[in-house]
Structure formats: C-alpha cells, structure tokens
Amino acid sequence: MMIQSMAFSVSAVLSLALPAVYFIKEPKGQAGTFWSLLAVAVAGSLSWTLAQLSGEWRTSLSLAIWVTISASVISFVITCAISSLAWRITPLLMPYLALMGLWAMLWQAFPGHVIQHNEEAINNWIMFHIAISVFTYALATIAAVAALSSFLVERALKKKRPTKLTRMLPSVVDSENLLVRLLIACEVILGLGVLSGMGVSMMETGNLLPADHKTLFSLAAFAAIAILLWLTFKSGVRGKQATRLVLLAYLLLSLGFLGVRFVTDVMMA
C-alpha cells in the first residue's frame, strides 16, 4: 500500500512538472500541446488529492498541501483562459508547485486523524470557508509568481543580459497588469473568506471576530493587499517596490491558515 501511494504521489509531482517542458523550445503561443499538458497536471494533482481525501477530511499536512496545489493548478488554468499572457509564467509556477508536491511527499507518512462535525450547518460553513481560503491562497501564489516574473524581466533589462527564461516570460507591464487583476480577485475572495470565517465563529463560539492568529493574519493579509492596490492605482507603484509588497502579502497568507496548513489550523482550533 505504501509503495502504491508513493508511486501515485510521484506521478502527480511529475504531472505538475510536465507543462514546463513545453517551454524548452521557447514556444510562440498557446498550442494544443500546452493545454494538454495543463490537463495532465490538473488530472494528476486532483486525482491524487481526491484519493487522499476518500470522502473525509483529515488533519494531514500532506493532504493540505495537495489541496492547495490542486486549487492553484485549477486557478491557473482559468487564469490562462481569461488572460492571453498568463500562460507565459508557466516556467516559474509549475516547477514551484512540483516542489510543493515533493514537500508534501515528505509528510505523507503522517496521515493525521479524521475530522468529524456533528452539526450539518456548521460543517457546510466550514467547507465553504476552507474552499474560499484555499482558492485565495492559490490566487496569491499565482500573483506572487507574476511579481517574480516582473522582477526577473526588469532586472534582465537593467543589466542588458536577457536569459532564455526572461525571454519566455511576459513583459514587465504585462506581468504587472496580470498581478493587479489577480490581486483584485484575491481581495474579493479573501473578503468572502473573512465574512465566512465570521459566520463559522458565530455558529461555533458566538463571537464575531475570535482573537486568534488566524483572524489576525487574515485581516493583515486583506489590509496588505488593499494597500498595495491603492498604491498601484493612486501613485503607480511599480517594479521592486510592488514586488516587495506582494511578497509581504503572500508571506502573511502563508503564515496564516490560508497557507498550506489551513486544514490543520482550522479543524483543530
């Protein structure tokens, strides 16, 4: 059984790395091959995630990571379908997700325990809250990668030393436009997450805003993204300043329950 699980996990990790192979020859556009490789990545990560779930939630860090990986791949597919240039950050995003998959494999030996909730209403709220949280994290991941793309291209231009990687990435302006759109979507979904968190807290404890680290980091992340968007539209923050602010917001998300440990944090609270 352990060998089968390991083989399944390895195949899921490999499926995540496959879309990056499409960029070895510096492609000119989104061909059918690209979408096919993305479909393999979605199928590989999602099937392994569902296999681990098996109809029940567990306090497993490995499972939490794979849930966020699957959400990130699905979110990226939707982003690529909406934005004509988002596909160019694939060489940065997919290897990162593959590394997350390798990290999840390290925790695979610790399956955690099954989560049980007695009240169906609370259970539904928690499921909704988790879905909001993980897709916020997924969008934040893509936004952070877009910021990294902008930083790498800008640095290559300043040094006048473009590399094969930077030539494949979107331009600085395109990366920043993608970044802003992702942050707007992230802020909207995060706002829904905060509201749903309030609903869960009211049902479970009667308090609207529980004084814990999850609430603190959620509100801090919401504020950080709001400030970044305000600065972008108000004073045109660009380049390294925007990158640092985005990475700060991303770090706040990672430190809170919106990161890869959201399942353990939320369910064991």
Report domain extents, the chain: 1-109, 117-269
Secondary structure class of 208 (helix, strand, coil): coil
What pLDDT is stored for residue 112 in this prediction? 55
Alpha-carbon distance of 19 to 201, in angstroms, equals 40
pLDDT at 260: 42
CB 15 within 8 A of CB 40: yes
Q: Identify the pLDDT of residue 198.
A: 75
Angstrom distance (rounded) from CA 236 to CA 238: 6
Q: What is the mean pLDDT of residues 62-90?
A: 89
In this prediction the pTM is 0.81
Give me the mean pLDDT over the 107-118 stretch: 55
Model pLDDT, residue 39: 92
What length does the chain have?
Answer: 269
Find out whether 221 and 251 touch, Cβ atoms under 8 Å. Answer: no
